[in-house]
Amino acid sequence: MKFNKLANHETIVKTKTALIAKGIETVLVDDEISALEKINTWIPKGASVMNGSSVTLEQIGFVELLKSGNHQWDNLHAAIVSEKDPVKQSQLRKQALLSDYYLGSVHALVENGEFIIASNTGSQLPHVVYSSPNLIFVVGTQKIVPDLTEAMKRLEEYVVPLEDQHMKKLYGVGTKPNKVLIFKGESAYLGRKVRMILVNKTLGF
């Protein structure tokens, strides 16, 4: 299937160049280990960290690292999950919107440096759009597409059916692309840092 095929070198270079031109610090790595090592060098000791639900982050070992506690960050997601009081948990979720770092992936990355992220609830979108000052996206190069039309096709025809099955298997409830974000760029005025790790492997959906 074309949406699961790794991009060729020329396309990767073109996309990386476009991302850098948009002010997005971008690196290309060969595997999951290298991606995780890069994240470790980027996030300083004591920083608060929040992450979205992401098969990619699971595959590179980031989720396991967070759960292990073998790091020096403030894992906000763990605090939310461990809180059983619904009211207090809701408060923690709101506070987590101000995390120092937010990590996730994208559903499609356009060769011109634009990308799309879809969400059922929209819970991770405030981080991406505005509230977290540091964003790190980990993206397998099979997600690169020529234009936004193909990006939406990739989302709706390929990603959503796979993610729906995945969510039903895990939680018994499926998902829908209720809210779709098109990320075209970041205002330099805000002083936020956006980084992307392109991994030359098939990661995520």
Give the up-direction half-sphere exposure of residue 21: CA atoms within 13 A in the CB hemisphere. 11
- The size of the chain, in residues, is 205
**Model confidence pLDDT, tens digit, residues 118-148:** 999 999 999 999 999 999 999 999 999 999 9
Compute the average pLDDT of residues 102-130.
97
Contact 151, 112 (CB under 8 A): no
Is residue 1 over pLDDT 70? no
> Which amino acid is present at 115?
F
Contact 6, 200 (CB under 8 A): yes
3-state secondary structure (DSSP) of residue 101:
strand
Contact 186, 24 (CB under 8 A): yes
**Which residues are bridge partners to 195 per DSSP?**
25, 136
Percentage of residues of the chain with pLDDT beyond 70: 100
Show the CA angle centred on residue 89, arms to residues 87 and 93, nearest 5°.
Answer: 120
CA distance 129 to 113: 16
Compute the average pLDDT of residues 102-113.
98
Closest CA to 110 of 2, 183, 10, 23: 183
What pLDDT, on the 0 to 100 scale, is given for residue 189? 94
Contact 115, 151 (CB under 8 A): yes
**Model confidence pLDDT, tens digit, residues 17-47:** 999 999 999 999 999 999 999 999 999 999 9
* Six token digits for residue 189: 């005025």
> Check: CATH 3.40.50.10420 for 2-199?
yes
Give the up-direction half-sphere exposure of residue 171: CA atoms within 13 A in the CB hemisphere. 8
Q: Is the pTM of this model over 0.85?
A: yes
Is residue 91 over pLDDT 70? yes
